[in-house]
Amino acid sequence: MLEIPESLLRALNKELRRDEMLKWAAQPISSQLVKSSFWLWLFFIPWTAFSLFWTAGASGFHWPDLGNLGAYSLFPLFGLPFIAIGIWGLALPFTMRRKANSTVYAITNQRLLIASFGKTTNLQIFFPKDVNHLSRVEKSDGSGDLIFSHQIYRDSDGDRNIAKEGFYAVRDLKKVERLIEDFLKTNQQI
């Protein structure tokens, strides 16, 4: 039931309480997360190309003369943020894969955990009272997403938003769903 590398298992065990037992732990399927960012990545190809072309055209296809700081010599610099956004978007599949490889989903006898280990540790903790919804989005191969928390909040404009949390891109989804249901029954929340 533990489908994670030894280094991540050690890091996860450090986060467990003294009386807490690990029931299940796995990592998201990185290829599924990368595929989910594919259409966005395709958008960033022309975005970046146009940003580069615009910036080059605005500069007259040469570097701005910083010795003569006229208004037009700084104009090409306005394209740099758009180029940076494009590069960020083109790197998205690689960052998604890296994030998936450092993320662990876990079910213990006390909590549900979403942990990301890297330069810093990011730990999302869900107690039985935090599980207010359980929905499954299953693919034909039995993998998919299991959403167990919907948090409704209002942003600064007063608009209503819903934050969905759960285990994304996991294998053997029905088994994980049964483990969460057992977790909730044991903790008398169903």
Is residue 100 one of the residues assigned to a domain? no
Q: Does the reported pTM lie above 0.85?
A: no
Is residue 22 one of the residues assigned to a domain? yes
Is residue 9 one of the residues assigned to a domain? yes
Percent of the chain exceeding pLDDT 70 equals 91
Domain check: are 114 and 137 in the same one? yes
Is residue 123 one of the residues assigned to a domain? yes
Q: Which of 33-42, 63-72, 131-140 has the lowest mean pLDDT?
A: 63-72
Domain check: are 20 and 113 in the same one? yes
Provide the number of structural domains found in the chain.
2
With bands split at pLDDT 50, 70 and 90, how would you rate the model's confidence at 71?
low
Cα distances from 63 to residues 7, 22, 68, 85, 171, in angstroms, run: 47, 58, 12, 21, 51
Work out the average pLDDT over 159-166.
81
Q: Is the pLDDT of residue 16 over 50?
A: yes
69: CB partners within 8 A, 6+ apart: none
Q: Is the pLDDT of residue 152 over 60?
A: yes
Is residue 176 one of the residues assigned to a domain? yes
Exposed (0-12), middle (13-18) or buried (19+): which is 54, by Cβ within 10 Å? Answer: middle
Looking at residue 190, its pLDDT comes to: 44
Domain encompassing residue 90: 38-94
Domain check: are 19 and 110 in the same one? yes
